[in-house]
Amino acid sequence: MRRKILSKLIVTLTIIILPGFVWADFGTRTNIGTGVDLSSIALGDIDNDGDLDLIVTGYDGSGRRLDKYINNGAGSFSGSSFGTGVYQSSIALGDIDNDGDLDLIVTGYSSIGRRLDRYRNLETTLNNKPNSPTGMSSEIIGGYWRFKWNAPSDDHTPTNMIRYKVAYGTNSGVYNFSSTNIDYPRG
């Protein structure tokens, strides 16, 4: 009986190839700070200037670290240690206190044992809300929808760094099909 059931099992594999997808050529390596192992990293705009900054935890061979690297927007970073260093760690950025900036959660081993710490971001620079996109249009191509728009800007974030949340539905104001974040930098 078991053979009969298994003989009717059919597996279908669908591969979707996205047009324009290219493997990255990362070029020359650039050292931006102290290397660590047993580590975690998180990228996020912690100083609200529109570019991605970096938080790193881990062990550097002589001690535990918790470092932030602020992106200057021109391809280099300014690093500094803060808080309690940990290794064998996990970290996450998110606006925990709902004040418009990214806060930090850190867990791992410190010199006194296991830790779970929250670091509130005290940055006072907040971006103004960007303008709404203009020139919005849509078309169906090969059974898929393609949405286009002219990208807006705000007072800090470069146009190519603004992300979008797109919702669509059957009627205006009724989003019964999907509501998803678009992680592509342009419309």
Q: What are the helix (H) ranges across 117-158? A: none
What pLDDT band is residue 125 in, cutting at 50, 70 and 90? confident
Q: Within 10 A of 104 (CB to CB), how many other CB atoms are there?
A: 23
Q: Which residues on adjacent β-strands are paired with residue 105?
A: 92, 118
Could you give phi then psi for residue 5, rounded to 5 degrees? -65, -45
pLDDT classification of 67: cutoffs 50, 70, 90: very high
Tell me how crowded residue 103 is: count the other CB atoms within 10 A of its CB. Answer: 19
Average the pLDDT over 79-101 and give the result.
93
| Model pTM score | 0.61
> What pLDDT digit, counting tens, does each position of 6-15 carry?
334 444 444 4
> 149-179 burial by CB neighbour count: b if 16+ within 10 A, else e?
bebbeeebbeeebbebebeeeeeeeeeeeee
Residues 58-83 have a mean pLDDT of: 93
DSSP E strands: which ranges in the chain? 37-44, 53-59, 64-71, 77-94, 103-110, 113-119, 134-141, 144-150, 164-168, 178-182
Rounded to the nearest integer, the mean pLDDT of the chain is 79
Whether pLDDT at 152 is above 70: yes
| Backbone torsions φ then ψ of 16, nearest 5 degrees | -110, 125
**What tokens does 10 get?**
């059919």
pLDDT band (50, 70, 90) for residue 185: very low
10-20 CB burial, b ≥16 within 10 A, e <16: eeeeeeeeeee
